[in-house]
Amino acid sequence: MPHSTKNHNQHDKNDYANANSLGERVPVIPHNGCIFYDIEYIIGDAMNTFPLFFKLEDRKVLIVGGGDVALRKADLLSRAGAAITILAPDISTEIQALLSDDKHELIYKNYDKSYMTGARVIIAATDDETLNHQIHADATAINIPVNVVDTPHLCDFIFPAIVDRNPIVIGISSNGKAPVLARLLRARLETLIPQGYGKLAKLAGEFRSEVKRKIPTLTGRRQFWERAFEGQVSQLMFAGNEREATAQLQADLDNTVAALKNSTNHSVDPDAHNPANSPATTTSQHNKRHSTGSLSATAPVATDELTTTQHTTIRNNNINQTRSAQDAVGEVYIVGAGPGDPELLTFKALRLMQQADIVYYDALVSPQVLDLCRRDADKVFVGKKRSNHAVAQLGINELLINSAKQGRRVVRLKGGDPFIFGRGGEEIESLRAHGVPYQVVPGITAANAAASYAGIPLTHRDHSQSVRFVTGFLKAGAPNEKFENLLDTNETVVFYMGLHSLARLTTGLINAGRSSETPIAIVSNASMPNQQVLTGTLESIVELQEQNQLPTPALLIMGDVVALHDDLAWYNKHNKDTGDTEANWLRAGTAITDQNAKNPIDQQAHALSMIANLAAQQEEDLEQLVIG
């Protein structure tokens, strides 16, 4: 359906308020805080139900029934502040515990319609079909909305799947046709909408009266809120900096008010250019002004609204004001990419990846995860593999600092968790020393993923009361040979970067006093479709690995819990084909088909080129930045 071409700078309150009903483009706020005008309300088939939001604070809600179904409804309604009355001869202990507040009432009696008096809504939650029909008929007779659970044709209203970002609430309904699908859609939205939106909405509510008082027009207020929701205010709130977000919103409002006053001071008396008072103003000029919503160059008028140029100026002033306060520094997000499966990313990691200007990523970041980054972000490979570091750690630190000081949003994407053998601590030490703001987003570390996907619990009351994460190599590649610390049989030990030194580790452990019969496992490509698990003992695992040749990335798990693998394994249990690591869908990714995508060698050259430029600019030793 074609949409209206009405200019949204036009300040006709009724026209704008009716935009949805007319099918016009109207602004919406997606999960990354940007304002889009490309979402249209399309008038299609008639709606089966109309979405409404009920205020139930301290209002009586009658629920007939005292079992599990009644409990689920009571739980939801209590969150909305309803005063709930439960009517049933038997009421579960869970409901009694949930509704222990004095505002609620539990009536241990059979149904009687007299209890409907004063109810705002009624829910029939019994397994008696005849009784449910009676409740529906009685409620309908006195015009009280009623919901008969799991019986759509007897429902005046429907409980939707809810996304709660109080005070923002989203309800999703299939009108009883496919409730499971509605729940799946809700789960998808949960991943897209940050929790910070609720706090952002509350902040907007605190400022609403002041904004309305200082910016008297609808269009002017809309422009102000758009700038706030798509700018620094939202980013500060999402980062948990509520005080800074409040201060920024106040500064933006003051800046906007000052611009409006300046605009008014430079305007001409509108009466002098009123068509009724000035014959010099032609009918065509008058019509043009009102049909386009813009101001004629020959007939300026006083206005409380902003022209496009002024709107842009305020936006730029706000941005410049923020950057000036931060010395034009962007921000660095140290993000854990998890073990490889993109479904194991956190919501926050995904949000920050999608707003990045540049991404520095490691060798263990799967292409499938990398594909989830913002499409037009620069992506630079700075990965490290055994004895082959694309860029030294010092060089990576310099790249992060330099990009942030250019005002860019930088994502440092690391396999696993940044703070578990990921050098994240070293990177934020460097960022802090240079005054660069940063955030750290944890990821699922390889030990957790490997253990979970291999069916090897890291702790178990019968086998292991503690767990230790150990690296096979220390700083500068020195082998870790502190085997005397790893002799506790009630402890699980996980070795990172240990596959290539497997013989050294097993021999050292046995010589230090660990039993040669101690169970040990190699988990390769944890959480990926070609994951492989090889189990043995300290005495046998080296020979088994020589025969099977499990590839990297891999880690070792040692301890009695390994014996549980055969019984508890669940993932890829019957896939014994070692396969080709390069053919793994997580390793290949969709990006491999992109003709414009750079391969790792190209990306490594790109990173080295950036390092060389930095070294030249700062007169630093190139070898220090590249070799590490």
d(CA 577, CA 282): 83
φ and ψ at residue 175, rounded to 5 degrees: 55, 35
What are the tokens at 615? 């070294």
Residue 176 Rama label (left phi>0; alpha psi -120 to 50; beta)? left
Helix (H) or strand (E) holding 502: helix 502-512
Beta strand residue intervals within 544-620, DSSP E: 554-558
Distances (CA, A) of 609 to 3, 364, 370, 382, 602: 49, 22, 22, 12, 10
- Terminal C-alpha separation, the chain: 60
φ and ψ at residue 380, rounded to 5 degrees: -120, 125
Distance from the Cα of residue 346 to its chain's centroid: 7
d(CA 227, CA 259): 14
Residues 6+ apart with CB under 8 A from 40: 1, 3, 23, 24, 25
d(CA 41, CA 22): 8
The three-state secondary structure class of 362 is: coil
Of 200, 198, 622, 610, nearest in space to 379 by CA: 610
Longest C-alpha distance within the chain, in Å? 105
* Residues marked as catalytic: 362, 384
Distances (CA, A) of 188 to 162, 354, 503: 12, 16, 46
d(CA 292, CA 189): 37
Contact 360, 393 (CB under 8 A): no
